[in-house]
Structure 1
Amino acid sequence: MPIQFTIYRISPSLGLFPFLLILLSSGCGRKNFYAETQVINPAVYKQLQEIPDSIDSVTVQAGSHYQRGFLYNALWGVRHRDAWAAPVTVPVLRLGTVKGGLEIEKIGGGMQTINATMVGGDGMTYSLRTVDKRPEIKLPFLLRKTFLSDIVLDQTSALHPYADLVVAPLARAAKVPHANPVLVYVGPNETQLGKHKELLSDRLYMLEEKYNDKRALVGELAEAYNIVGTNKMLKHRKNSSRHSIDQLAYAKARLLDLLIGDRDRHEGQWEWAVYEQDGEHTYRPIPKDRDNAFYVYDGGILSWLLSRKWTFRKYVSFSGKYRDVKALAIKAAYLDARALSAVTVHQFDSLAHDLQRSITDGVIEQAVRELPGSVYRMQGKSLARKLKSRRDKLDEAARKLYDVLAEDVLVTGTADEEEVEVVRLDENETEVTVRRKSDSKITYHRIFHRSETDEIEIHGMADNDSLVERGQVRKGIKFSIEKDSVQYKNKSNSQIKARRKKLAVEGMEE
């Protein structure tokens, strides 16, 4: 997906920082920021142009344009510039032979991050994604041709160009569904691309399976009956209590995100395999787009300032420590609230320990060996050491993520008629149970602790839903119920009277 930066929207709390940034960036920008070609050897590039089939592999640099001098690096950081500039030898993609022959189905990403969906002769769908990203620049007109525009384009250097290659074997060990990317180069003026020749030619790509519809229901996904995107999954979940998320499977995938420092896990970064049994539909997550794994941003003076908790906290960098688990959860907050609300601290702890056992030293060492040789020699041992350190501390990070999620919990109802039962077990514990009225099936249950949770929000109730409150306590967890324009809030948590044991949601008053 395109990376968007709006650099001129700087927090007023930074004082003189915007003026310093503009002052340091007021020179002219590069006339051509990106390299003319990623192929290193001009003679090889010329041969590819003239006799495309005569060369099977090429040596390229994914992003030589991210190389910078000492002063720039001191201000903005070294990041992953060495990996972007490293010479990497990759095969030239032959569309007519790979995967039984690849044909383009559609193009996504425009001129920013190009993502071509391709269909193989084997019936599987594949994604051809550019390794280099081209951020969309949103700057005032007077700044578009200044050095500031180069700074925006340079933000891609914080991404690791080959992260996907390392993540795949880690996901395999964790038993989290994943694609198996390979590096390929599409030659200049590749005729088999047809009308897309100019757009797709002369680029370095990741070619991987694309799990976006029924054609991808193979292997470990063979028992599913469909694959859908997050928006469709949430719509089905809202419309019927017979559609539910496998929250433990999603929690495991999110712990893998923590391990690799993937800070960009918004709704668009997931597909969902759908399973059916006895009329109940379960959605299990398929993570995709690992562009932000091993993200490094804060190595320079200015980037360090920009990534503080009081500025842009979400730009948290990967290291051997979990510097800020809450920052890693910012972009996933909307989905996490709806897909992790039933997971307990004991379940998080159990999943973390399972991953610690599954992702052994051997798994990590083999995973980093998937890096191109030149990159492994520069980063392999360091990356393995950091991953082992994070693996060893994963249970602690899981607890921190749980604490973030437990503070304010969202319980989502559905369009089906349901009964919500809130029981004050004592001043510390509050039990919430949701039952489907048609067959009394429990669709949600959890016991909350006042030491962890400030408020429970219950959303999306149908017209004939009902609330049952039990138990009398002096003080307990706040909870609220919202349905369209009707809202009920238990703000004071004073004693709950017996006459309010069962109330229709419609017409409730505070």
Structure 2
Amino acid sequence: MPDFCSSPAPLPRRILGSALLLGLFTTGCARQHFFQPDARVPDSAAQAAVGPDSARVTAGRHYRRGAPGRLFFGRHYREVWAQPVTLPVLNLQTAAPGGLQPGKVGGGFQTTSMTLNGPGGRTYALRSLDKDPYKTLSKFLRHTFALNVVRDATSAGTPYGAFVVPPLAEAAGVLHTTPRPFYIRSDENGLGKASERFRGKVVLLEEKYESKENLGPAFGPGAVDLMESDDALAEIYQNPQHRFDQPAFLRARLLDLWLGDWDRHEGQWDWVAVQQPEGPTIYRPIPIDRDQVFFRFDDGLISWLVSKAVRKFRTFGPEYQSIGGYTRNARFIDSRALNEQTRRQYLSTAAALQQRLTDEVIERAARRLPPEVYRLEGPHLVAALKARRDALPRAAAEFYRRHAEEVVVPGTDAAERFVVERRNDTLTVVSVYGGEKARTLLYQRGFRPAETKLVLLHGLGGKDVFELAGNVRRSPRIDIYGGPGEDTVVDSSRVAGLRRMTRFYDTKRNSVADPAPELKIKTESGVTTHAFDRDGSGR
């Protein structure tokens, strides 16, 4: 389901306008019974043929539409949602080693979800394949045709795409979950208070990687903890001995790009903390929630118009339609976990993925689709993945170009020394030092003004020092955000022909910055400049 909004707030005007247009071809009010009452196919002979431990089901036969509906709204994956397949019936005693017990019910806006508890503190996620965006709409729109329109857009995602990803991620060297599909009986009572909400649904079950109880050999030596993004970010920005595994994150993000997975915001990642024998603790990414892989949206007249207004709603195919659209939702986490990576590293990582993602790997992964679904979509999926693999270096180069335009370089809550060397007209080097007497190199990268227009330095906590030097004609602009500690800026640099290529944002108290030709001091009484916000700009 397209992520029209991240909270139950009114939709953006451009989406509402598109929804109103769509409404010309729909009924005036929301359908009272939109979803299939039970995923089981009402065919007793078909059910008897698969035995008591399996069921013949459809993921969502309510997405079927006639020729006019497909013309205006798009073919999407309607055939796949309505295609009967055979799935195992969920048995809590055998679905995981040691059995499962009901846990906390999830609070997602679209997906029915809950946590299941296994032995030894291990936890598992259970969630429906189908979605209901009812809560994402304003109270007014929940009772209009707009609800039908937004519900129908769920068919742009394929219900079985997440099951194709694990062997591809494994081949790419990216950590992954291993989801499995199940059907939940219409008389299921083993899920506690949530039983009624799950009855008759097709669901996904996977192990959760949010706490150290779920650690295992797959995470390699030195793995000490598992956590969500909020906790990983807090650790990384509190202590300079905690860092992102940026090469691993780049590999994961290029895999996302290849899969057309556009919904990769920070909530879509877990992290494994790995203690290195002699060095910092690094945080390796684990992509989760593969709901939007192989997305297909712009294949109807009206949905094509919507895709032009909202760049992230791109259709998966042999070509990369929009690198900006594919990566928009992940700008926050990308700006923090990729800020060391160079163009050479982007291209070399893409080349390595090309070697790893062989034809055999792709074809084997596609066979994880239910056989009936493979006959509908398998050959097209395989051909698209092969074509996108061959074009991956070009996509990676464009991905890098976008990231290089504006780069965020944060410190931590400890004291650091930021050194900016404007060495010549084609190279500015930014280094960050920490530890005792700020002598340990924590970060270093060269920036070329042809690629990078702005570098943002965030001191965060601690007594930070910012030093700038060099006499050049061209250089990226440097914006400095001191943070809550006592901060000092010393700027002896010059950029000929341009003025004020260094800007310092901080409070009037606890900051020292002597006037200099390139330095524009923008202090204020409030503390808004201390915010290391979602945009990574502090502005």
The TM-score, its normalising length taken from structure 1, stands at 0.90
Which consecutive unaligned segments of at least 5 residues does structure 2 have?
521-539
The equivalent of 2:286 in structure 1 is 286
Distance 1:398 1:117, change over 3 A: same
Count of paired positions:
496
The equivalent of 1:213 in structure 2 is 211
The equivalent of 2:91 in structure 1 is 94
The equivalent of 2:457 in structure 1 is 458
The equivalent of 1:302 in structure 2 is 302
The equivalent of 1:243 in structure 2 is 242
| Counterpart residue identity of residue 264, structure 1 | D
Measured in 1, the distance between the counterparts of 2:423 and 2:234 equals: 33
- Contact 1:2 1:135 survives alignment (8 Å): no
The correspondence for 1:65, drawn from 50, 62, 66, is 62
The equivalent of 2:257 in structure 1 is 258
Distance 1:142 1:253, change over 3 A: closer
CA drift of 1:317 comes to 1.7
CA drift of 1:20 comes to 3.4
Measured in 2, the distance between the counterparts of 1:296 and 1:229 equals: 29
Distance 1:3 1:453, change over 3 A: closer
Distance 1:2 1:274, change over 3 A: farther
| Counterpart residue identity of residue 454, structure 2 | E
CA drift of 1:487 comes to 10
CA drift of 1:59 comes to 0.6
Measured in 2, the distance between the counterparts of 1:264 and 1:240 equals: 29
Q: Deviations over 1:245-266 (max 9, x none)?
A: 0111000000000010000000
Q: Deviations over 1:135-167 (max 9, x none)?
A: 135556565333322111111111110011111
The equivalent of 1:364 in structure 2 is 362
The equivalent of 2:317 in structure 1 is 319
CA drift of 1:332 comes to 0.1
| Counterpart residue identity of residue 493, structure 1 | V
Would you say 1:75 and 2:61 are equivalent positions? no
- The secondary structure found in structure 2 opposite 1:283 is strand
CA drift of 1:196 comes to 2.5
- Contact 2:2 2:153 survives alignment (8 Å): no
Match runs of 1:96-245 below 5 Å: 96-99=93-96, 100-109=98-107, 112-121=110-119, 124-139=122-137, 143-223=141-221, 224-245=223-244
* Worse overlay, 173-182 or 94-103: 94-103
Distance 1:45 1:378, change over 3 A: closer
The equivalent of 2:31 in structure 1 is 30
CA RMSD across the alignment: 2.9
Measured in 2, the distance between the counterparts of 1:28 and 1:118 equals: 37
- Contact 1:314 1:330 survives alignment (8 Å): yes
| Counterpart residue identity of residue 323, structure 2 | V
| Counterpart residue identity of residue 305, structure 2 | L
The equivalent of 1:507 in structure 2 is 512
- Contact 1:295 1:318 survives alignment (8 Å): yes
| Counterpart residue identity of residue 66, structure 2 | G
Measured in 1, the distance between the counterparts of 2:457 and 2:267 equals: 25
Measured in 2, the distance between the counterparts of 1:140 and 1:487 equals: 48
CA drift of 1:111 comes to 7.3
| Counterpart residue identity of residue 346, structure 1 | R
Measured in 1, the distance between the counterparts of 2:279 and 2:168 equals: 34
Would you say 1:443 and 2:442 are equivalent positions? yes
CA drift of 1:271 comes to 0.5
- The secondary structure found in structure 1 opposite 2:191 is helix
Q: Deviations over 1:3-54 (max 9, x none)?
A: 5557753239x9x86753443445333220001111002548999xxxxxx8
The equivalent of 1:51 in structure 2 is none
CA drift of 1:495 comes to 8.3
Distance 1:353 1:323, change over 3 A: same
- Contact 1:472 1:495 survives alignment (8 Å): no
Measured in 1, the distance between the counterparts of 2:292 and 2:357 equals: 20
The TM-score, its normalising length taken from structure 2, stands at 0.86
| Counterpart residue identity of residue 506, structure 1 | S
- The secondary structure found in structure 1 opposite 2:325 is helix
Distance 1:181 1:130, change over 3 A: same
Measured in 1, the distance between the counterparts of 2:388 and 2:72 equals: 28
CA drift of 1:55 comes to 1.3
- Contact 2:89 2:184 survives alignment (8 Å): yes
- Contact 1:479 1:489 survives alignment (8 Å): no
- Contact 1:247 1:340 survives alignment (8 Å): yes
Distance 1:348 1:143, change over 3 A: closer
Distance 1:243 1:316, change over 3 A: same
| Counterpart residue identity of residue 450, structure 1 | P
- The secondary structure found in structure 1 opposite 2:384 is helix
- Contact 2:465 2:489 survives alignment (8 Å): no
Which consecutive unaligned segments of at least 5 residues does structure 1 have?
48-53
- Contact 1:75 1:302 survives alignment (8 Å): yes
Distance 1:496 1:422, change over 3 A: farther
